[in-house]
Amino acid sequence: MSSINQRYVEKFPASAELFEKAVGYFPSGITHQNRFAEPFPVYFNRAAGAVKYDLDGNETIDFVMGNGALLQGHAHPEIVEAVTAQVARGTHLGGNTPFEMEWADAIMRLVPSLEQVRLTNSGTESTYLAIRLARAFNGKPKILKFEEHFHGWHEYALPSQGNAPAASVPPAIMDMVIVARPDIAEVEEILKNDPEVGVVILEPTGAHYSCFPIQPDPFLRQLRDLTAKYGVVLIFDETITGFRISKGGAQTRYDIQPDLSTFGKIVAGGMPGAAVGGRAEIMEMMSFRGNPEWDNRRRIGQGGTFNANPPTAMAGIVGLKMIAEQPINERADAMAARLRAGLNDAFQRAEVTGFAYGIASLVNPIMGLEPTGDYEAPVISYEDRRAAMTAKRTGLLTKAMLTHGVHVMGGQVFMVSSVHTEEQIDRTIEAFESSLRELRAEGVV
């Protein structure tokens, strides 16, 4: 066993024990594919602010932050108060509520391109609904998505999403999804030659929280112009970037108006909730018109028992109000800038080739590649990225960092929050340097 694995096993014995039981309940013992870890994953049982605790009582500085949902940190007191008060007043009122409108208003104030919204329970549901709306609107069935871009786990999102095969997706659906590289000439070629393409969807800063970075400027503007030219609906999947890359998401930061946008995570203040919004004429594909042919056959339907459930709505209202009125993003971005600079120094001190980059409060480390000089959105080819960040490297980095008290999401991204402190960032940089030295000692970098 490698020494990193050895230290990991020694530090988390209670998790090892629980995992033995978990495999009896869940396939692979887990409830989300990204939580798969060998020889076992760590079990956490509470969190506050920027830290969380596992079953052995170890304190860990958290940069998974609810898979990116917790821009204000764990259990923010204002959000906890709003949610718990609402739980006591009812978790589901079986009808419309004023809270859903307040939540929608908070979303629409921050993202000017949204003329109407609908509320869902997850990013997956939102991209699924957005794709269906787009197709219904322009009558063209095919979807253009980008290699590795992740839009959840419904069938239209599965082709080339990186971490799971499109197993058992019917060929008829696979034929509807065209996968391209984020290269504007390639996109134009496809749109010019295939009039059936009606939708382009992307993660606007690049696949997997910018792990495969794109250069939003000028790519997003070029994509906007091309999709307008060919009558194709442009969807920004802002599940990660929404309210993080700027208060109004990637579209506000880069001043591009997509036709539809999808949100998850931060939109619901750390509770399970999400949204779809955009041009009213597209959103209206869901409206009842009083015409049975339309209402019962052509209208896009949306169900969802827990859509806009009151506790989630409350978390969304309070969380987004904080983002609108307080320097939440500014604080998170400043801590991320400190972390990015510190990680870059750590690469040099540990004499390991690599660098850290990222936009706003996303920090992406990459091992095995020389810095390009761009620490925000560097040009990195898919091939170089894959060769640099192998599963072995990211897996061992994750475990090495955990043994030093830091949780990095997938070994690939630090989701920085507004409550990380300078002292926690500096401890993280030290942990990173030690981890790099350990990876080097094991001949992994």
Ligand X SMILES: Cc1ncc(COP(=O)(O)O)c(C=O)c1O
In the complex, least distance from residue 240 CB atom to ligand X, rounded to whole angstroms: 5
CB of 241 to ligand X, least distance (A): 8
Site for ligand X in 264-323 (CB under 6 A): 264, 274
**Please, which residue, 203 or 438, has the CB nearer to ligand X?**
203
Q: Which residues contact 163 (CB under 8 A, 6 or more apart)?
A: 33, 34, 150
CA 214 to CA 203: how far, in whole Å?
A: 9
- 127 touching ligand X, by CB under 6 A: yes
Longest dimension (CA), the chain: 70
Question: Considering the rule CB under 6 A, would residue 203 count as an interface residue with ligand X?
Answer: yes
177-180 and 197-202 strand pairing: unpaired
d(CA 232, CA 280) in angstroms, rounded, equals: 16
Q: Cβ closer to ligand X: 350 or 413?
A: 413
Select from 11, 145, 151, 420 the one that contacts ligand X (CB under 6 A): 151
Tell me which of 60, 239, 394, 424 binds ligand X, using CB under 6 A: 239
What letters, b where the CB count within 10 A reaches 16 and e where it falls short, cover 333-370? bbbbbbbbebbbebbeebebebbbbbbbbbbbbbbbbe
Determine contact, residues 267/320, Cβ cutoff 8 Å.
yes
Q: Per-residue string for binding with ligand X, 15-54, x by CB under 6 A?
A: ----------------------------------------
Instruction: List, edge to edge, every strand of the sheet that includes 44-48.
Output: 44-48, 51-54, 59-62, 406-407
- Which 73-92 positions form the footprint of ligand X (CB under 6 A)? none
Stretch near ligand X under the rule CB under 6 A, chosen from 122-130, 300-308, 336-344, 395-403? 122-130
Q: Is 123 in the site for ligand X (CB under 6 A)?
A: yes
- Please choose, out of 1-9, 55-63, 139-147, 234-242, the segment that lies near ligand X by the rule CB under 6 A: 234-242
Shortest Cβ distance from residue 352 to ligand X (Å)? Answer: 28
The tokens describing 138, both together, are 């322009």
Token pair belonging to 124: 């997956």
Q: Which residues pair with 400 in a beta bridge?
A: none
Q: Which of 124, 246, 361, 424 binds ligand X (CB under 6 A)?
A: 124
| Among 132-140, 145-153, 250-258, 432-440, the segment contacting ligand X (CB under 6 A) | 145-153
Distance CA(130)–CA(110), nearest Å, equals 19
Q: Candidates 150-158, 190-198, 228-236, 418-426 — which segment interacts with ligand X by CB under 6 A?
A: 150-158
Which residue number, 122 or 412, has a Cβ lying nearer to ligand X? 122
Nearer to ligand X, 104 or 201 (CB): 201
DSSP-assigned states of every residue in 360-388: TTEEEEEESS---S-SSS----HHHHHHH
Q: Where are the alpha helices (DSSP H) in 206-356?
A: 207-210, 216-229, 249-253, 280-283, 292-293, 310-325, 328-349
Cα R_g (the chain), whole angstroms: 22
Residue 156 or 432: the one with the smaller Cβ distance to ligand X is 156
Q: What is the DSSP letter of 296?
A: I
**Minimal distance, residue 237 CB to ligand X, in Å:** 5
Pick the stretch among 17-25, 108-116, 235-243, 312-320 that binds ligand X (CB under 6 A): 235-243
Considering only residues 371 through 430, tell me which ones interact with ligand X, judged by CB under 6 A: none
In this chain, which of 106, 240, 268, 444 binds ligand X, going by CB under 6 A? Answer: 240
Residue 407: closest CA among 11, 28, 3, 18? 11
State whether residue 38 is helix, strand or coil.
coil
Residues in the chain: 445
* For ligand X, the closer CB: 113 or 121: 121
Q: Inter-axis angle of helices 3-11 and 391-403, to 10 degrees? A: 50
Residue of the chain from 54, 100, 237, 438 that contacts ligand X (CB under 6 A) = 237
Least Å distance, CB 203 to ligand X, is 5
- Comparison of 15 and 127: residue with beta carbon closer to ligand X: 127
Interface with ligand X (CB under 6 A), residue total 14
Q: Which position among 41, 73, 152, 411 is part of the footprint of ligand X (CB under 6 A)?
A: 152
Distance separating alpha carbons of residues 4 and 37, to the nearest angstrom: 14
Q: Identify which of residues 29 and 152 has a Cβ nearer to ligand X in the complex.
A: 152
CB-wise, 147 or 442, nearer to ligand X?
Answer: 147
CB-count exposure of residue 218 (10 Å: 0-12, 13-18, 19+): exposed
Nearer to ligand X, 15 or 67 (CB): 67
- Say if residue 258 is preceded by a cis peptide, omega within 30 of 0: no
Cβ proximity to ligand X, 150 vs 432, nearer residue:
150
Tokens found for residue 147:
């290699």
Tell me which residue of 212, 210, 220, 224 sits closest to 147, measured CA to CA.
212
The residues of the shown chain that bind ligand X, judged by CB under 6 A, are: 67, 122-124, 127, 150-152, 203, 237, 239-240, 264, 274
